[in-house]
Amino acid sequence: MANIKNIGFIGIGNMGAAMAGQLAHKGFALTVYDARPPVAAAFAQQHGARLALTAAEVGEGADAVIFMLPDDLVVRRVLFEEGLASRLAPGSVAIDMGTSAPAATRAIGAELAALGIGYLDAPVMGGVVFAKDASLDIMAGGNAALIERCRPLFDAMGRKLWLCGELGSAHVLKAMTNYINASTLSNTLEAMVIGRKFGLDTTVMAEAIDAMCNGRQHPIVKKIIPQVLTRKYGTGMAMQLIAKDVKIAVDSAHSVAAAAPLAEATAQLWSAACDQLGGSRDHSEIVRYWELASGVQL
């Protein structure tokens, strides 16, 4: 298989910009597109990338196209309604690095395979800070040879590549890890609000819980002091995206008849918080869900 040199990148948001920036910095020929033209234009100018005016244009001459998009519905629209798939050459590969439903990923892969186009699911874990210094964990699902062909891309953006199995398996693992992280954050904040009702110091609680319950330096708990206690709420991840990811975990469990009562409860909690506070708010602001119910502020 030919080396992958010409890369298309669709989705220049907080994460996408940091990840695409790593590829540009490390010498890949990069073409970018975003539904917000000024955002893509600013990135292209800053990083010396080629600017595509449509999603379909990204496919011209691309060895691989990476998606960093909200969900599989947007990925499908870009590929098949906006014409990207028709511009991709046989032998090229499309890579979904966002969080999508595993069943949808497998369906998209089958449709692309009929066109001679490879497909991988390669979601990431780590957030914007990790993307900016190329220390993301990357999970990969799909054809093993194709994953190895794309390894230079993954190495340019991350610190570790986790081989998960068949197409869709990486999206299963991502959903489960996001569910665990959502549970960790919500359980910790709920406990801290209860402690606050007893008059405990918030910083002492955050540090003690991290040290005694999480083995210290837990990345989720480490967000509490700089983002929650300061009321900055600036992690860059919207509450509705966390809610979507937990729902994917629940749906995945249901698809194989696995019991998931805790995941179901977590999904219901995050959905209720989105309804009450607004899903577009930063996910760290979910603390207000307990604060409002308990009549206390951390």
Q: What is the mean pLDDT of the chain?
A: 95
Give residue 2's pLDDT: 65
pLDDT confidence of residue 237: 86
Q: With respect to CATH, is domain 172-294 assigned 1.10.1040.10?
A: yes
* Residues 69-122 pLDDT 10s: 999 999 999 999 999 999 999 999 999 999 999 999 999 999 999 999 999 999
| Beta-carbon-side half-sphere exposure of residue 220 (alpha carbons within 13 Å) | 20
pLDDT for position 290: 96
pLDDT digits (tens, 9 = 90+) for 125-140: 988 889 999 999 999 9
Rounded Cα distance between 120 and 116, Å, is 13
Q: What digits encode the pLDDT tens for the residues 154-173?
A: 999 999 999 999 999 999 99
pLDDT tens, position by position, 249-295: 999 999 999 999 999 999 999 999 999 999 999 999 999 999 999 99
pLDDT in tens, 1-60: 568 999 999 999 999 999 999 999 999 999 999 999 999 999 999 999 999 999 999 999
Give Cβ neighbours of residue 152 (< 8 Å, ≥ 6 apart).
Answer: 3, 4
Give how far Cα 68 sits from Cα of 9, 75, 94, Å: 8, 9, 11
Across 209-236, average pLDDT = 85
0.75 exceeded by pTM? yes
CB neighbours of residue 57 within 10 Å: 19
Secondary element (H or E) of residue 30: strand 29-33
Hey, where are the domains in the chain?
6-167, 172-294
Domain 6-167 has CATH 3.40.50.720: yes
Q: With CA atoms as reference, report the closest residue to 174 among 138, 223, 132, 136.
A: 138
